[in-house]
Amino acid sequence: MKLATIRTSSGTRAVRIEEDHLVDLGPADLGELLAREGWTTAAGAEGEHLPLAGADFAPVVTHPGKVICVGLNYRNHILEMGRELPEYPTLFTKYAESLTGAHDPIAKPAETDEFDWEAELAIVIGAPVRRARREQAEAAIAGFATLNDLTCRDWQYRSKQWLQGKAWEGVTPVGPYLVTPDELPGGVRPELEISTVVDGETMQKNNTSELVFDPVHLVEYISTIITLGPGDLIATGTPGGVGHARKPPRYLAPGQHLVTEVAGLGRCENDIVAGETA
């Protein structure tokens, strides 16, 4: 199934995407849908038909309880950043306020001169899970979405902790869809092309099969630390080709058009605009 959260004149709604229309599923967003027992049955139910054309996509989950991110999880990105392959996942967090819709304009924070792209595969959790083993971790994955972990590099490297470069408000597009594993090659370990294109120029291109720590391993590892719940998001890391590692470095500026795509999961297409100043 292909699911989404859209904005309407009366608020957000969880929907199922069909070929030429949307089906209103009732809940306010996918987080609310996923929290329902037997959500897969509810997601397949009939409801009011809404137009697909012109749909205003919100983040797939508007208020996730947790947004946990993984750094340094593709070999080529690890090497381009001058680091050794990790023994364990590198984790940091974002917040619900960091997220934005797949087609929303993104305001480059005025406080940064080094606004960088990071295409990522996002895991969406569909069931509570703690200290998961493989089969439990597999069952807890509701599906996947496209995400870009846009980063203020000059703020990221102010300290050894990355949060201050990663958690800026409204700069992390996620969506437009959640696609369930049964529709993807590789299932819960999807094998999908992932890319970033800026103003028509391909900056990143890889395959999610190249993840050092795959989605199932990440759910096992993170759920050892804390309970993962329905609607929680895990950003799995970016491949090589980020602007910061280029010689000379390249960064995003107002007026540019950013396209983030994971094959089969849809595109985030965002215009970069100037952010407000204090």
Model pLDDT for residues 31-41, shown as the tens digit of each residue: 999 999 999 99
* pLDDT at 75 exceeding the cut of 90: no
**Same-domain pairing of 5 and 87:** no
**Same-domain pairing of 13 and 95:** no
**Same-domain pairing of 197 and 147:** yes
pLDDT at residue 133, rounded to an integer:
96
Percent of the chain whose pLDDT exceeds 90: 93
Last residue of a domain, one of 15, 37, 58: 58
**Same-domain pairing of 93 and 46:** no
Last residue of a domain, one of 14, 34, 58: 58
Residue-wise pLDDT tens digits, 189-210: 999 999 999 999 999 999 999 9
Q: How many domains does the chain have?
A: 2
Provide the token pair at 171. 């700069």
**Same-domain pairing of 108 and 222:** yes
Q: Can you say how many angstroms the Cα of residue 222 is from the centroid of all Cα atoms in its chain?
A: 17
- Cα dist. 16→40, 100, 138, 143, 178 in Å? 11, 20, 22, 13, 9
pLDDT at residue 98, rounded to an integer:
98
Provide the token pair at 6. 């859209």
Decide: helix, strand or coil at residue 27.
coil
**Same-domain pairing of 73 and 14:** no
Q: What b/e string do you get for 98-114 counting C-beta neighbours within 10 Å, with b at 16 or more?
A: bbbbbbbebbbbeebeb
**Same-domain pairing of 207 and 246:** yes
**Same-domain pairing of 179 and 99:** yes
**Same-domain pairing of 118 and 159:** yes
Residue-wise pLDDT tens digits, 222-275: 999 999 999 999 999 999 999 999 999 999 999 999 999 999 999 999 999 998
pLDDT at residue 76, rounded to an integer:
77
- Domain range for residue 143? 59-274
Segment 148-154 shows an average pLDDT of 98
* pLDDT at 155 exceeding the cut of 90: yes
**Same-domain pairing of 78 and 131:** yes
Provide the token pair at 172. 């992390």
* pLDDT at 278 exceeding the cut of 70: no
Last residue of a domain, one of 58, 85, 104: 58
Q: Rounded distance, CA 128 to CA 25, Å?
A: 21
pLDDT band at 72 (very low <50, low <70, confident <90, very high): confident
Measured distance between the N- and C-terminal CA atoms of the chain, rounded to whole angstroms: 44
pTM of structure: 0.96
